[in-house]
Structure 1
Amino acid sequence: MKRAALALLGCAVLAWACAGGSTGLPQPSILSVEPDTLLVNAKDAELTVRFDARYAVSVDYGEETVDAHLMETGRVWLDETEATVTHFDPSGVVIVTVPRGLGAGAHSVRLRLEDGREAEQQDALTLKPPGQDKETDPEGEDAGILMATDAGAMDEDAGTDAGPHPEDPILEGDITGFNFEPIEGARTSRQSFSITVHAEGPRAAHFGGSLELTSSRGKVTPKKIGPCDGGVCTELVVVDATEGPVQLFVLDGYGVGGTSNSFMLAPSP
């Protein structure tokens, strides 16, 4: 009977026999993060985190029963931004929706169980800007150069320029990202300070739209900055959050984003 009860814990969960509670239990460990590469601000992108955790069990030798104290919930962060958990299985699987606003590059994944135990894996997820999800094809690259040269020559004979004009609408792929100028030093909660964001991409200098603005903690106002001028957005903003590190995020209408550096926020006087 006792062996049958223990078998219910499953192969993926390692039981830790004790009188109860999580005191003395080892920290969990992250086994894998899937997928390990996504596009920046991909809509409704999901991440599967597989982990190994030991749980407390209570054994009643008189009744020959075993009671496993499994976790019912868990939380996951990507860097300092918390993700939305859509599924949690204490046997070692948690599925989350990747938060939008994270910049391109490598990001850590941190798991916290209901009892406070944590595991973290550095550089577990890499976010790539749109257009960099496929490897460059050398033949395609040569073809692109030839086409651009031929088209340019033909238009030169005709006396016209084939390139886009500043007044042409910005299309998907024209802007590949947004770069914050460094936010240096500590800022004060509920007090305004200036931020400057630069568009990046083949038509960065033509970008004159507005951007959604969010923060990793608390709230930031205004919620939109812009319109930008020549691909540059400068705005006075106010962050209302508790003391600690904060990052800001921007997002355009096509889901292309950018992330500021982490800066410290001091409490308001």
Structure 2
Amino acid sequence: NMIFEVQDLAVASPATVSRCGMVYVEPQQLGWRPLRDSWIATLSTVLDDESRPHLLTLFEWLVDPCVVSAAAAPPPRGRSRADPYCTLLKDVVNKHLGLKFDNVFEPPQGSELERGDVAVLRNLLYCDFQVPAADPVKYDEVTDLPKLLSVVQDYLADYNAQNKSRMDLVLFLFAAEHICRISRIIKQPYGNALLVGVGGSGRQSLTRIATFMADYKLFTIEISKSYTVNEWRDDLKKVLRQAGGGAAPTVFLFSDTQLKVRV
């Protein structure tokens, strides 16, 4: 068993390298890519071959510039927080991809972007429901926002046709963005989210639509004056039997107003 330094291995023959029992490598020399590859290898059951290149592209595209940005001094006052990030992305896109930043991040509406405007990144969305009833389902970037909004509106019409409690909602781009986020979260194993907002902002309605679009079961609880911890435990048993024993993908939805006992 032989131990060699890194500089020796750089010029060593393959036979010499194969006899190495251990190689000491500094973390800075190792880099982040082995950690990424090790993590992605654990996702073999949930990450298909078609989605893997997308994930690798995002890592290669963003990690190094973000590390540089995190190590740099904070931006001076008066500058947008998005400005340094957009500057890094612009350099990566122009220099390494050979593309024009304004063309890559131009909103579908065709409006003019200003440097440092957070809208540059707002329209970077991914979802798997752009093509309804697609088989197999493809998780891909949203390149046509008006079409995405039209698809969501069609799902809302189907929801109202199949449920007695209609939801008469006026859907707009901001709502579609949140539906993309909620949909991504609930489709992850043990995915959960805390939706924060004022009353009437659509937290429950958008969750119901995202659940319907995913073809999941929605489980809610009914709170009354006689509702106690025993009823709560019974409801938990029901949702666990439905999701686990019944093998039915389920979303458990409840609001802060339904919390009677605070710990």
Taking structure 1 as the reference length, what is the TM-score of the superposition?
Answer: 0.19
Taking structure 2 as the reference length, what is the TM-score of the superposition?
Answer: 0.19
Specify which structure has the higher proportion of helix.
2
User: Which protein has greater RCO, CA pairs closer than 8 Å, 6+ apart?
Assistant: 1
